[in-house]
A and B are shown apart, each in its own frame.
Chain A
Amino acid sequence: MNKLNITINGLPLTVSEGKTILEAATEHNIYIPRLCFLKDIHEEGNCRLCSIKIEGDKQLKPACKTMVKDNMNIITDDQEIYDTVSMNLELLTHRHHFECFKCSREDNCEFLDLLRKYSIDNEFSQLYGQYDEQNYYYQDENGVMIIDSSKCILCGRCVSACEKLSGLSVLNFNNRGNKTYVGPALFHDLADSGCIYCGKCIQACPTGALREKDDIKAVERALRDKTKKVVVQVAPAVRAALGEAFGLPIGTDVEGKLFSALKALGVHEIMDTNFTADLTILEEGTEFIKRLENNGPFPMFTSCSPGWVNMLELYYPEFIGNLSTCKSPQQMAGALIKTYYAEKMGYDPKDIVSISIMPCIAKKAEARRDEMGRDGYKDVDYVLTTREFSRLIKRRGIDFNALEDSKPFGMLSSYTGAGVIFGATGGVMEAALRTVSEILEEKPTPIEFKELRGNQEIKEASYSIKGQTINVAVVHGGISIKQFFKHLETTDKTYHFVEFMGCVGGCINGGGQPVVKAQIQEQVDVKSLRAAVLYKIDDKANLRKSHENQFVKELYDTYLEKPNSHKSHELLHTTYQKRAPYAKID
């Protein structure tokens, strides 16, 4: 790679050929403001905030799209550029409805950061009043996420994220010019627009225009309801990322503080979804072994990711028969809380408020599915994303970083290493193989299946178990899912078991996790750092195979009888429906 000599603000620098001015500046810690640039996802150069001057060019150029050339002299900051960037920011503030005090991004907003940096006055609103309020578009009927164009700065990152990460292009620009708004076509209800709620759009949004539907208030009220018992379960992936909301480095394990925070909030009982992850392996593993005995139907698809289940129901409903009938660990936990736990504690299930803390927004819709409850109550009453949980902790004034570690003990909270790795792509498959191989071979089998780990799009492996070749695949993210189904159309290979995740990287990169700023997303491998937390917990665990979980055994012995029993089917298994996008258009 050629080295080029350039100057930035008079400073001579050597840069590799093929870099943009933004990359060159960032490498050398020279600040250039940016808003719409999201590496590999949205590189359109349309916010125009990264405008810089090149000697000899009349026009200001976008640093994110301009390649460095030998002997280029670049100015990134002078009076003209400062005034230009300020003016563009002022124009954006005129469009923005400021509600920072209650905004989900109050302390994590890329737009606000720039406004502060450039001392923006919102002068147009001061002079001419708030912008066209009748042009604001808002929808939250889906109950999972909110599209709020009053906060939108039309950077386009969400549109690109939906196109490039989920492959579904549910969100796009509607109308044009200053009347542009982002949403499904004609702002049709998101719930009927083929959205799978993977939340990649929220993770791409620099402001609060796209955000989860906030359930904090409902939880606060439940915690103060003296007639109710609040039971909380926490997903594996939450402990790998919650710390980021409190300034801890990406990849910090905050499991201990997390449980202490729950105690401080005053919940009655703390559970761990990792427990039901282990349980899921027993149920799903047994289901798989049955399919092996009956020679099909193959392949069997995992069913714990609601984003993935949404995608199958909407776009590949003909494969419903391939899905495992197992509920997700969240829903298994919810069912047990309202039956097993309630009976054991002598509570009326209607007096239990079952809350889950999830890295996921699709879980909010999953909890509301008709099948997820009985006798007039729901197994999971409220789902809080990692982000909402962090806000709740902050609002209560709990000093998270100063909390001592604690760990819940007992039924529904103990887990093996196999349960915790559910949060990373390949984790479910690895956990399943640990158990299935040992059950079938009837002797100790390997613990680790490292070839299933990592972020490459589709991972495949074959294993010889009890003389039979088992072909497995691990698929994550909408694009890979689409690719895999295309592959299935033409391949001769029989896959036996496929793990699907709606989000690239698995749950640790779920739509409910703390939002990482664009600049950090490109510097740091967020997915690998968060996944490493889970694999480390697994590595250190005493028990690493789901069937070794004593409390799971006790649950079967005393309550469910055995995996796939009638009771198990009643509580821990579910059904699916064929759906289609835009089904409700007149």
Chain B
Amino acid sequence: MLERIQVLICGGTGCMSSHSKEIKKAFEDELIALGIKEEVGLILTGCFGLCEKGPVIVIYPDETFYSHVKVSDVRTICEEHLLKGRPVMNLMVNDPNAKTKIKQMSQLKFYAKQKRIALRNCGQINPLDIKEYIARDGYLALAKVLTELSSDDVIDEMIASGLKGRGGGGFPTGVKWQFARRSESDIKYVICNADEGDPGAFMDRAILEGDPHSILEAMAICGYAIGSNQGYIYVRAEYPVAVERLKHAINEAKEYGLLGERIFDTDFSFDIDIRLGAGAFVCGEETALIRSIEGYRGMPTTKPPFPAVKGLWDKPTNVNNVETLANVPVIFLKGASFFRSIGTDKSPGTKVFALGGKINNTGLVEVPMGVSLREVVYDIGGGIPAKRKFKAIQTGGPSGGCITEKDLDTKIDFDNLTALGSMMGSGGMIIMDEDNCMVDVARFYLDFTVDESCGKCTPCREGTKQMLDILNRICEGNGTLEDIDELERLGQMIKKTSLCGLGQTAPNPVLSTIKHFKDEYIAHVVDKNCPAGVCSNLTNFVIHDNCIGCTKCARNCPVNAISGWPKQIHTIDQDLCIKCGACKKACPVGAITSDVLLKEVSL
């Protein structure tokens, strides 16, 4: 019997943590009870991207988009929507501009400016069923490549497409493949770098969980191009769902003869094995990754020699990021010119960003290069929650820098972001508002890199720790103006002499925040005040004269530290205050700031 309705349930890690698997089970039970199990397809699919609204369910053929679904909603959906054809209104997304609900996924403003190429199958197919991948032209690109193109043709097409590495390096992928092709060796390797380590980044995770076959296909195409018969996917062990789905996908592909010996009856054979990471961010660096696969401590080695010449077990190796590979089948299905038609001249194609922080629509977005930051933050991201004021975007994670209001209209591409003192990185985009302390932000990122530094080279191992110690002192109230100069001096030196990308980019958040938010640093060291009210030693919340006496602050204070009559200016008892900042966020007129207290000296 043909299914008349299909229920796609998001099976990305985010929604799974919110019980989407239990939701699916509830559906199964409910449908059996209602006797309509045969008519309704239940598919656990990949990430839809609008994670803030998760758990997400999309029902076809009418493309109804349900958000924040709970197990207790399942019966209602089954009875009302699936059985009686009446979509459930209260599970739909509110239209922020009107009082109505938005029914269809494609009507959501979130998706309007996106172009899902790397994420093309995420949220559309069951990642555990190879037939669904094949139904959406899966493995067709590989077939075309193996039967119609030579290895050189493949490289030429990749170069023509202009695809650049999406893991952070931004190196032209076709050229990288060409280097590996030109290295002479009977054994070569293709490695997929799935060690996604930037805090807050989950682009690669979504692709691995939602569309694992796209990676397998891409790696096989790469193998054919460079002359390799063995691929490795190095996945971080903290992605167990991705590991499971990849293993399953590899087995299925082998069963179907799409991996293994003589694929499509040609002379080309390709096998893929999985290698797990063990909790080290530095193993996302390609040479450290290679050492890790070889069984050594994951510590980077100097380049040259580059992996394309001397990589895994000293053989020519091509290492590519997950998102980079996800684009490859599309280039061969639709052609390099199609790919070039999207994005900008210097940065063709799209980029997946993980929107996080102070943004309404947290989740994954894929936009063509050339879209402006403002569009991403406001049109797609839905702006800052609770009407707080935008302060900065951090792109590129712990390797990147911050971008301020004045540069929001910058069109996103590799060169533009680097010119702003930040970088594209792997796609993490954290939005900050007035309640974020930029000194604390720099400290947060540096704390991460200090913890993750492998320790091999002097500047990164010792230098970043010195910088962190200085930042800690600043945030505790023991900083000086000389400290800010020292941070810059250390930062510049570490950038210039570190052995690998981790060290070379670790000072970026600090240097970038000093450049754009110097006044905040000065407030910390001179005034001993944290204007954002984050660094508790330097935070003194004060209610100013523009207080309208609405009592909202007092009502939100968890320790009853605020007193005042209605319509009168309120005051905070500093001895009771725990510096949580709830009052500052609650105040409708911005009358509460963290300011230097004027202390009276009593003799």
Residues of A within 8 A of B (CB): 44-49, 51, 59-60, 62, 65, 67, 83-84, 87-88, 91-92, 94-95, 124, 128, 153-154, 156, 172-173, 175-180
Inter-chain pairs besides A156-B456, A173-B297, 6 sampled, C-beta below 8 Å = A47-B457, A59-B504, A176-B454, A177-B461, A178-B450, A180-B461
| A83, B493: Cα distance in complex, Å | 9
A178 is contacted by which of B297, B301, B453 (Cβ under 8 Å)? Answer: B453
Q: List 9 A-B contacts (CB under 8 A).
A: A44-B456, A47-B458, A48-B457, A59-B496, A65-B302, A87-B459, A176-B453, A177-B454, A178-B453
A-B contact count (CB 8 A): 90
Interface flag for B39 (CB, 8 Å): no
CB of B283 to closest CB in A, whole Å:
11
Verify if B280 is at the interface (C-beta below 8 Å from A). yes
Q: Which of A48, A67, A128 contacts B497 (CB 8 A)?
A: A48
Neighbouring B residues of A94 by C-beta, 8 Å:
462, 466
**Which residue of chain B has its CB nearest to the CB of A178?**
B465
Contact yes or no, A48 B458, CB < 8 A: yes
- CB-based contact B456/A92 at 8 Å: no
> Which residue of B has the minimal Cβ distance to A128?
B469
* Contact present for A180 and B455 (CB under 8 Å): yes
Q: Which B residues lie at the A interface, using CB under 8 A? A: 280, 282, 297, 299, 301-302, 304, 450-459, 461-466, 469, 489-490, 493, 496-499, 504
User: Given B301, B453, B465, B497, which contacts A84 in the complex, CB threshold below 8 Å?
Assistant: B497
- Whole-angstrom distance between the alpha carbons of A149 and B465 in the complex? 18
Q: Are B461 and A48 in contact (CB under 8 A)?
A: no
The complex places the Cα of A59 from the Cα of B499 at a distance, in Å, of 10
Determine the residue in chain B with the shortest Cβ distance to A175: B455
A60 with B497, Cβ < 8 A, contacts A91-B466, A178-B465 known:
yes
| A124 with B466, Cβ < 8 A, contacts A177-B454, A178-B453 known | yes
| Chain B residues whose C-beta falls within 8 Å of the C-beta of A45 in the assembled complex | 302, 499
* Bound: A175/B504 CA distance, A: 21
Asked if B459 and A88 make an inter-chain contact with CB atoms under 8 angstroms apart, the answer reads: yes
| Pairwise interchain contact B489-A87, C-beta atoms closer than 8 A | yes
> Which residues of the partner chain A approach B461 to less than 8 Å between Cβ atoms?
154, 177-178, 180
CB distance from B585 to the nearest CB of A (A): 36
Q: Is the CB of A95 within 8 A of B297?
A: no
Q: Are B459 and A91 in contact (CB under 8 A)?
A: yes
Q: How far is the CB of A245 from chain B (nearest CB, A)?
A: 29
Q: Smallest distance from the beta carbon of A53 to chain B beta carbons, Å?
A: 10
What is the CA–CA distance of A172 and B298 in the complex, to the nearest angstrom? 13
Residues of B within 8 A of A84 (CB): 493, 496-497
Do most interface residues of chain B lie in helix, strand or loop, or is the interface mixed?
Answer: helix
Q: Which residue of A lies closest to B297 (CB)?
A: A173
> Which of B280, B302, B451 has the most CB atoms of chain A within a 10 A radius of its CB?
B302
Q: Chain A nearest CB: distance from B591 CB in Å? A: 40
Q: Report the Cα distance A154→B455, complex, angstroms.
A: 8
Shortest CB distance B465–A (Å): 4
Q: How far is the CB of B109 from chain A (nearest CB, A)?
A: 42
Kindly list chain A residues whose C-beta atoms are within 8 Å of the C-beta of B469.
Answer: 128
A173 to B454, CA, bound (A): 10
> Closest Cβ of chain B: how far from A512's Cβ, in Å?
30
Using CB atoms, name the residue of chain A closest to B299. A173
Chain A residues near B301 (CB-CB < 8 A)? 44
A156 to B301 CA separation, bound complex (whole angstroms): 13
Listed from nearest, the 3 A-B pairs whose CB atoms lie closest are A180-B455, A91-B462, A177-B453
CB distance from A52 to the nearest CB of B (A): 10
Which A residues lie within 8 Å of B462 (CB)? 88, 91-92, 94-95, 178
A44 touches B455 (CB 8 A): no
Cα–Cα, bound, A340→B299 (Å): 57
The closest CB in chain A to the CB of B456 belongs to: A46
Contact call A87/B493, Cβ cutoff below 8 A: yes
CB proximity of B458 to chain A, nearest CB, Å:
5
Nearest A-chain residue to B483, judged by Cβ: A127
Task: For residue B183, give the distance in angstroms from its CB to the closest CB of chain A.
Answer: 17
- Max chain B C-beta neighbours (<10 A), residue from A48, A65, A95: A48
CB contacts (< 8 Å) of A156 on chain B: these are 456
Q: Is the CB of A48 within 8 A of B466?
A: no
- Contact pick for A44, options B282, B302, B465, B496, CB 8 Å: B302
Partner of B450, one of A48, A59, A95, A177: A177
Residue of A nearest to B473 (CB): A128
Q: How far is the CA of A457 from the CA of B462 in the complex (A)?
A: 39
Closest to B460 in A: A177
Select from chain B the residue with minimum beta-carbon distance to A65. B302
- CB pair A60 B455 closer than 8 Å: no
**Which A residue sits closest to B457, measured CB to CB?**
A46
Give chain A nearest CB distance to B51 CB in angstroms.
Answer: 31
Residues of chain A lying within 8 A (CB to CB) of residue B459: 48, 87-88, 91
Assuming the A-B contacts A92-B458, A128-B469, are A60 and B496 also in contact, with contact meaning beta carbons closer than 8 angstroms in the complex?
A: yes
A175 to B489, CA, bound (A): 28
Contact A178 B496, beta carbon cutoff 8 Å: no
Q: In the complex, A180→B465 CA distance in Å?
A: 12
CA distance A179 to B452 in the complex (A): 11
